[in-house]
Amino acid sequence: MPGLMSLLDAVLAPIFDDLVPGASPALRPSQRADFQADGALQVARALGRAPREVAQEILSRAMERGLEQMCDRAEVAGPGFINLRLSAGMLAGRLARLRPGAEGLGAPVQRRRLKVVVDYGGPNAAKQMHVGHLRSSIIGDALVRALRAVGHDVVRENHIGDWGANFGMLVEHLCDLGEDRGAEELAMGDLETFYQAARAQYETDASFAERARARVVLLQSGDPATLRLWRLLVDASVAHFDRDFQRLGVELTREDVVGESFYNPMLEDVVTELAAAGLLVDSDGARCVFPPGHTNREGAPLPLIVQNSAGGFTYAATDLAAIKDRTQRIGADLIVYVVGLPQTEHFKMVFAVARMAGWLGPSSEAVHVGFGNVLGPDGKMFRTRQGGTVKLSELLQEAEDRARALMIARTEQTGQPLDGDMARTAAAVGIGAIKYADLSTDRTRDYRFDWDRMLSFDGNTAPYIQYAHARVCSIFRRAGTAADLTAMAGRALPPEEDEERELAKTVLCFGDALQSSVESYGPHKLCAYLFELASGFTRFYEKCRVLDVAPAELRASRLALCAATGEVLAYGLGLLGIEAPERM
């Protein structure tokens, strides 16, 4: 049950490929028709023939191969474009085949099921999560859901910072507080306070600093008592993360935590293997690999340092160990790193070294899915009014509060009490707004965090799309029937009104949108699609009556279209990790 565009592509592509191997129809939505294929111009150039003539030949062959049954208008236009308008009967036929769930709605299920590991940059243990961690969890979560929807086998790994020198001072601070009181503070209070206290002590108290350094040595040498305290700290952090992640509505849980400490025992082997492969170079006492093509500010080769001159392993070593573990033990075909853009060069180097070492090979690859910063409404780094970092938990609370306030304002304005679960809806709308604002623009750009805009019910926002879905649900509540797509899909008649036709078309393009979203690791493409679908539905809703229309067949047909729309809206929002309340 592919999307309309891939359906057309399936007919056209073989003809293009036959004329010029590798040539593509270059299909895209068109203002003059439903779709247009621009590829004939390329083919004509390669063949040295007249473009319109080539386009006509392609079109004729396509018509014989099934295009005729799909289109009620198919013509060559302009310099050699092929314009295609689908027949209403064809649209009805496709609607009839819609079923709930990924494949039934048109998700392009991949021919090869890949084992995909998604690495979320991960917060540091013993520190509070803040807006900086928002993006990797939100984007990562959306990618995981989309990759799974198209049939991949996805493993989440939350690569938290749970190891390193910081833990010396943290463990000592825990000792000073006393284990019981410390544990209580960690569980109840926020981690930031604990971390700051330890940090302050470390900076002002020389003897404490000395103990902290000694503690690091104990930790690294595997001292059981120290490890137990370390574990306490990490567990407390993970418990906090769990709470935030759950509230944010991302799938990450403690089960997905694979922190730096996990790779610790493998680092020695990583370095040994790099040495054995002849890749390791000693430079000023540090052990490095020099992947070609990277230079430092003096123009000299830039090293990837895996072990510093003090003998400590760096995060490059950890990243390499993680790649090795994922491809060799887990059997990953693809590793996706959802980490900020500033690390671009680091990952390029790590991937290059992993390939040199053979940990990434012909059958496995890694991609860095980078993202920009979160900026405040003023265009500068997002901060509290006091200039501190914004805590995630407080941000989420504010989102829910603001959403609730908007809902209350509305009920006062209309005089209609909200009959649903106010708290739950407020959470769905508030959290959804945050996530959608993050996901709806190209992830590689910085994005501006603006409460009023993201919570607006107008424009490309989560509330607007959720509202369209709620209206669908409202229709079915009044109709007194369930929005059962399986039962209703077959009742769709060939659409007659423009708004019906456009809506039907958009519903049937879900698979195309998901496809391009997954291919580019770009959730914003799915967002753009859902916005188009929601606005298409709203236009339909304004123009076409559903419940009080005659004859009964038309009513049933429109209900079927509503059911399909509601299903795709809810499913699509679900892929973004956003809830679709039935009432708003």
Q: How far apart are CA 391 and CA 133, in angstroms?
A: 10
Query: Could you give the residue ranges of the DSSP H alpha helices within 358-484?
Result: 392-414, 422-439, 451-454, 462-479
CA 347, CA 367: separation in Å to the nearest integer?
Answer: 8
Among 342, 358, 361, 388, binds RNA (CB under 7 A): 342
Nearer to RNA, 386 or 413 (CB): 413
Structure tokens at 321: 């160990």
CA–CA distance from 466 to each of 151, 436, 451, 549 (Å)? 26, 11, 17, 25
Element (H, E) at 374: strand 374-375
Q: Which of residues 100-139 bind RNA (CB under 7 A)?
A: 124
> What spatial distance separates the first Cα and last Cα of the chain, rounded to whole Å?
32
Q: Which is nearer to RNA, 1 or 215 (CB)?
A: 215
Angle at 184 between CA 181 and CA 188, to 5 degrees: 140
Nearest to 186 by CA among 263, 244, 246, 128: 128
Residues 289 and 297: their CA atoms lie apart, in Å, by 17
Interface residue with RNA, options 269, 345, 401, 519 (CB under 7 A): 345
Rule CB under 7 A: which of 196-255 touch RNA? none
Q: Which of residues 281-310 bind RNA (CB under 7 A)?
A: 283-286, 288, 295-297, 299-300, 302-303, 305, 308-310
Residues from 18 through 77 that contact RNA (CB under 7 A):
26, 28, 30-33, 36, 38, 41-42, 45, 77
Site for RNA in 434-453 (CB under 7 A): 440-442, 444-448, 453
Judged by CB under 7 A, the residue of 145, 435, 501, 524 near RNA is: 524
Q: Measured from the CB of residue 199, what is the shortest distance to RNA in angstroms?
A: 14
Q: How far is the CB of 314 from RNA (least distance, A)?
A: 4
Query: Pick from 78, 490, 494, 574: which binds RNA (CB under 7 A)?
Result: 78
Residue 173 or 448 having the CB closest to RNA = 448
Q: Of 115, 102, 106, give the one whose Cα is nearest residue 145.
A: 102
Q: CB neighbours of 389 closer than 8 A, spacing ≥ 6?
A: 130, 131, 132, 383
Please identify which residue in 56, 60, 264, 456 interacts with RNA, judged by CB under 7 A.
456
- CA gyration radius, the chain: 28
Alpha-carbon dihedral sign for residues 501, 503, 506, 511? negative
Residues 475 to 514 in contact with RNA, rule: CB under 7 A: 475, 478
Query: Of 120, 464, 521, 529, which lies in the binding site for RNA, with binding defined by CB under 7 A?
Result: 464
For the bound state, the minimum distance from the C-beta of residue 441 to RNA, rounded and expressed in Å, comes to 3
Reduced 3-state DSSP string for 49-118 = CCHHHHHHHHHHHHHHHHHHHHEEEEEEECCCEEEEEECHHHHHHHHHCCCCCHHHHCCCCCCCCCEEEE
Window 353-382: contact mask with RNA (x via CB under 7 A): -------------------xx-----x---
DSSP 466: H
Of 189 and 265, the one with the shorter C-beta distance to RNA is 265
Site for RNA in 148-167 (CB under 7 A): 161, 164-165
Q: Quote the strand ranges of 215-315, DSSP E.
A: 281-283, 286-289, 304-307
Amino acid at 26: A
**Min separation Cβ 73 and RNA, Å:** 12
Minimum distance of RNA from residue 61's CB (angstroms): 19
CB nearer to RNA: give 299 or 362. 299
Of 195 and 315, CB closest to RNA: 315
Interacting residue with RNA among 14, 89, 151, 312 (CB under 7 A): 312
Instruction: Return the number of the residue (467 or 571) whose C-beta is nearest RNA.
Output: 467
- How far is C-alpha 371 from the geometric centre of its chain's CA atoms? 11
Answer for which of 99, 346, 355, 383 binds RNA (CB under 7 A) is 346
Q: Give me the least distance between CB of 40 and RNA, in Å please.
A: 8
**Could you say which of 2, 4, 58, 83 contacts RNA (CB under 7 A)?**
83
User: What is the torsion angle, in degrees rounded to the nearest 10, for the CA atoms of residue 105, residue 108, residue 112 and residue 116?
Assistant: -80
Which positions from 319 through 338 interact with RNA, judged by CB under 7 A? none
78 or 104: CB nearest RNA: 78
CB nearer to RNA: give 154 or 375: 375
- Other C-beta atoms within 10 Å of 343: how many? 16
Nearer to RNA, 181 or 445 (CB): 445
Residue 188 Cβ vs RNA, minimum distance, rounded to whole Å: 27
Using CB under 7 A, pick the residue from 280, 546, 560, 568 that binds RNA: 546
Nearer to RNA, 84 or 332 (CB): 84
CA distance 261 to 167: 12
**Only segment of 108-116, 187-195, 211-219, 531-539 that touches RNA (CB under 7 A):** 531-539
Nearer to RNA, 82 or 154 (CB): 82
Binding mask 377-416 for RNA (x = CB under 7 A): --x--------------------------xx--xx-xx--
535 binds RNA (CB under 7 A): yes
d(C-alpha 257, C-alpha 336), whole Å:
16
Size of the site for RNA (CB under 7 A): 100
Of 252 and 317, nearer to RNA (C-beta) is 317
- Residues 390 and 129: their CA atoms lie apart, in Å, by 9
**Least CB distance to RNA at residue 62 (A):** 16
> What 8-state DSSP symbol labels residue 305?
E
- DSSP 8-state assignment for residue 251: S
Distance in angstroms (rounded) separating the CA atoms of residues 371 and 447:
10
Among 241, 371, 510, 541, binds RNA (CB under 7 A): 541
Q: Answer for the pair 115, 155: CB distance below 8 angstroms, yes or no.
A: yes
The CB-of-11 to RNA minimum distance in angstroms stands at 18
